[in-house]
Amino acid sequence: MNDEEMILKRLKELYNRAYNKGYYTYSTFLGLNGQSVLASFASANMVTLFGGTGGTERVVAAFGDKEMYGYEPVFPIKCIKISPKGPKFAENLSHRDFLGSILSLGIEREQVGDIIIKDGGAHVFVLDNMAAYITDNLDRIRHTPVRCELTEDIPDIYSEAKELVVQIPSERVDVLVSKVYHLSRNDVTSLIKGKKIYIDGVLCNKDGARIKNGNVISVRGYGRIWYGEVMQTTKKGNLCVKVSAAV
C-alpha cells in the first residue's frame, strides 16, 4: 500500500465514522497531497478544513455536518509561540530550523501545521495533544536558546505576501504561475507534470486549468498565490488582476 492509499484509507475511516456515529472526527494535519486525496472522495458538506488561522497550507479536516449536528467543529489545534531568549544574540533561524528541532523531539510531521516566521521567532500550529509536550521540551533551535508558550495572538498569515497587479491574457493557472514567478511556460508545464501545483489543495493536472477569484494556487518550491479580482481589461484584451504572492 503506497502513501496515497494509506491516506485515503484513513480519511475514509474518519469520514464513515462521522457519518455513521453522528459526531465530528478529525484528521491530523494534511499537506497538499492529503488534501487532494480528500477532495477525490469526500462530500463538501461533510468536510470542514482549518489550519489554525485563515490561509494556512496545512490543514486539519473535520468530518461531520454542522447542520445535522447543530454545532460547529472544535478543531484540536493549538498555536505555540517560540521566541529566542536573547534576541540580540539569536541566529537567523529558518522554517527548516524550527521544523527540524520540533521533529527531533519525536513529533510526527502530520502533528505539525504551518510555521509562521516572525521577528526572529515563530508561531507554530500543532495538534493540541502535542502542545504541552513541545512547550515543556523544546528549549533550543540550532544553537539559540528559546522559550515556548501557548498563544492566541496569531499573526496575519498573509503578512509576508506581496500584493501585485499582473497582466495575463487569460485566467489559466499556467499563465498566472508563469507571470508571477517569472517562469517559462515549459517550466510551468514541467511543474504540473511533476505534481507540484495545486489549486485550493487539489492537484492540478492540466496546463489550461481555469482559475477564479478566491483561488489559492500552491507551487511547491516557489510559494503560494492568492488570486484576486480582475480590475480591468486592457485595450489588447489582457486582464489586469490583483494577486498576493508568498515565497
pLDDT for 38: 93
Assign 125 to helix, strand or coil.
strand
- Count of other CB atoms within 10 angstroms of residue 45: 11
Q: What is the pTM of this model?
A: 0.86
* CATH class of domain segment(s) 3-69: alpha beta
Residue written as grid cell 492509499: 5
Q: Splitting the chain (247 residues) into consecutive groups of 10 residues, what average pLDDT does each group show?
A: 87 93 96 92 86 92 90 96 91 95 97 92 97 97 96 80 91 95 94 95 92 93 91 93 86
Q: How far is CA 211 from the centre of its chain?
A: 18
Superfamily name with CATH number, domain 162-246: RNA-binding S4 domain (3.10.290.10)
* CATH class of domain segment(s) 77-150: alpha beta
Assign 241 to helix, strand or coil.
strand
pLDDT for 88: 85
Assign 169 to helix, strand or coil.
coil
Contact 146, 140 (CB under 8 A): yes
pLDDT for 160: 66
pLDDT for 159: 63
What are the cell numbers at 57? 497550507
Question: Domain extents for the chain?
Answer: 3-69, 77-150, 162-246
What are the cell numbers at 198? 495545486
What are the cell numbers at 61? 479536516
Contact 216, 202 (CB under 8 A): no
pLDDT for 40: 87
- DSSP letter for 204, please: -
CB under 8 Å to 126, separation ≥6 — which residues?
Answer: 77, 78, 79, 80, 102, 107, 111, 112, 113, 134
